[in-house]
Chain A
Amino acid sequence: MTSQNQAIALLHRLVAIPSLSLQESRATAWLVEQMAANGYICAFVDDAGNAVGEIGPADAARTVILLGHIDTVPGDIPVRIEDSPTGRLLYGRGSVDAKGPLATFTAAVARVGDAWAREHNIRLVVVGAVEEEYATSKGARFIRDRFNGSDEPVPDFCIIGEPSSWQRVTLGYKGRVLVEMEASQPMAHTAGPDAGVATVAVDLWNWVSAYAAEFNAPHDKAFDQLLPSLRDLRTWTDEHLHDRVAAKIGIRLPVDFPIDDFLAGLVDWANQRTATDTPLAPFSSASIEDGGVKRVEVVGPLTHLSLGIYAHEPAWRSDRNNALVRAFLAAIREQASDRGGERPGFVVKTGTSDMNVVGPAWGCPILAYGPGDSSLDHTPNEHIALDEYWQAVLVLEQALRNLG
Chain B
Amino acid sequence: MSELTPGAVGGSAEGRDASRPQSHAEPEAIEAIRLRHPWRAVFAVVLLAIVALFIYDAAFNRPVYSWNVVAQYLFDVRMLSGIGYTLQLTVYSMAIAIVLGVSVAVMRLSPNPVFRSVAWVYLWIFRGTPVYVQLVFWGLVPVIYKTIDLGIPFTEAVVTLTTKDFLSYFLLAIIGLALNEAAYMAEIVRAGLLSVDKGQEEAATALGLGWWHSMSRVVLPQAMRVIIPPTGNEVISMLKTTSLVVAVPFTLDLYARSRDIAAVNYKPVPMLIVASIWYLLVTSILMVGQYYLERHFAKGVGARPDATKVSLETGTVRVPRSAASAQAKGNPPSGPSPEGGDAS
- Do A and B actually bind? no
A→B interface (CB under 8 Å): none
